[in-house]
Amino acid sequence: METRAVRDGDFWILNGEKAWITNGTIAKLAIVWARTDDGVRGFLVETDNPGFSATNVKNKLSLRASVTSNLSFNDCRIPAGNLLAGTEGLKSALSCLNEARFGIAWGAVGAAMSCFETVLDYTKQRVQFDKPIAAFQLTQEKLADMITEITKAQLLCVRLAHLKEEGRATPAQISLAKRNNVKMALDIARQARGMLGAVGITGDLPVFRHMMNLESVFTYEGTHEIHTLTLGRDLTGIAAFS
């Protein structure tokens, strides 16, 4: 995190950049985490502030329904009251991420179910060699593997929700669910895409769209690799990040 905020009387002055921020050019308000002399703090920045500017990433092939933006803060002067009360250190920023990543773990299951249901319908209807392709053993094995992985991911989410309700879900458990479920959904989307044959590469069915969108989900809310390292640290007590 390189964006810095410096206190100046009744104001904070922000300088720095944030890359790959969803809805950055259309938001009225940005929540910005920045380094201060007292550690990381959260700030509300109104985007009509003259020190704020944003441009959109062009040519995205994934999550095309939302804009993704690069934000710049150039001597962006905001009232001292825009400091988020009670935020202290990276812990506050990370607590938001735990909420988002819990939701991602569920959302990935939904994408996987959509791919599974699409391919199940399709293979029951599509006839080759005088039989629906669902009648071939190779197809049935793929369908059986898919529903098994989806069911395991659903149970993981339900268990995590119970732990969360009891205030016992740990960041490592949330990493485990995000990492597993997004990879599971991406594998199922790719498998389903193949099972649809040529029609699978079109937008007529939802599978290719899910596959492309899941590529972003694999990267955002903590990359697959960083969640792997989080689990590694939790298991061994040794951080392998650097």
Ligand X SMILES: Cc1cc2nc3c(=O)[nH]c(=O)nc-3n(C[C@H](O)[C@H](O)[C@H](O)COP(=O)(O)OP(=O)(O)OC[C@H]3O[C@@H](n4cnc5c(N)ncnc54)[C@H](O)[C@@H]3O)c2cc1C
Active site residues: 221
Q: Cα separation of 171 and 177, whole Å?
A: 10
Is the C-alpha dihedral spanning 133, 138, 141, 147 positive or negative? negative
Of 63 and 135, which has the nearer Cβ to ligand X? Answer: 63
Amino acid occupying residue 21 = I
Q: Is residue 94 near ligand X by the rule CB under 6 A? A: no
- Per-residue DSSP letters for 121-137? HHHHH-EETTEEGGGSH
The answer to whether 232 and 156 are in contact (CB under 8 A) is: no
Of positions 13, 120, 219, 233, contacts ligand X by CB under 6 A: 219
Q: Is residue 68 near ligand X by the rule CB under 6 A? A: yes
Question: Residues 6 or more apart from 197 whose CB is under 8 A from it?
Answer: 126
Of positions 126, 226, 232, 234, contacts ligand X by CB under 6 A: 226
Of 20 and 162, which has the nearer Cβ to ligand X? Answer: 20
Q: Cα separation of 171 and 236, whole Å?
A: 15
Which window, 19-27, 105-113, 150-158, 202-210, contacts ligand X (CB under 6 A)?
Answer: 19-27
Shortest spacing between CB 175 and ligand X, in angstroms: 13
Of positions 1, 17, 20, 81, contacts ligand X by CB under 6 A: 20
Q: Is residue 56 near ligand X by the rule CB under 6 A? A: no
Of positions 128, 148, 170, 223, contacts ligand X by CB under 6 A: 223
Q: Is residue 59 near ligand X by the rule CB under 6 A? A: no
Q: What is the largest CA-CA distance in the chain?
A: 80
Of 151 and 223, which has the nearer Cβ to ligand X? Answer: 223
52-56 long-range Cβ contacts below 8 angstroms, 24+ apart? 52/76, 54/21, 54/24, 54/25, 55/25, 56/24, 56/25
The count of residues interacting with ligand X (CB under 6 A) is 14
Amino acid occupying residue 90 = L
Of 132 and 171, which has the nearer Cβ to ligand X? Answer: 171
Instruction: Report the DSSP beta bridge partners of residue 133.
Output: none
Q: Is residue 175 near ligand X by the rule CB under 6 A? A: no
Q: Cα separation of 47 and 25, whole Å?
A: 8
Q: Cα separation of 217 and 60, whole Å?
A: 14
Q: Is residue 225 near ligand X by the rule CB under 6 A? A: yes
Of 36 and 219, which has the nearer Cβ to ligand X? Answer: 219
Q: Is residue 69 near ligand X by the rule CB under 6 A? A: no
Q: Which two tokens stand for residue 215?
A: 């590529």
User: Footprint of ligand X on this chain (CB under 6 A)?
Assistant: 20-22, 63, 68, 216, 219-220, 223, 225-226, 229, 241-242
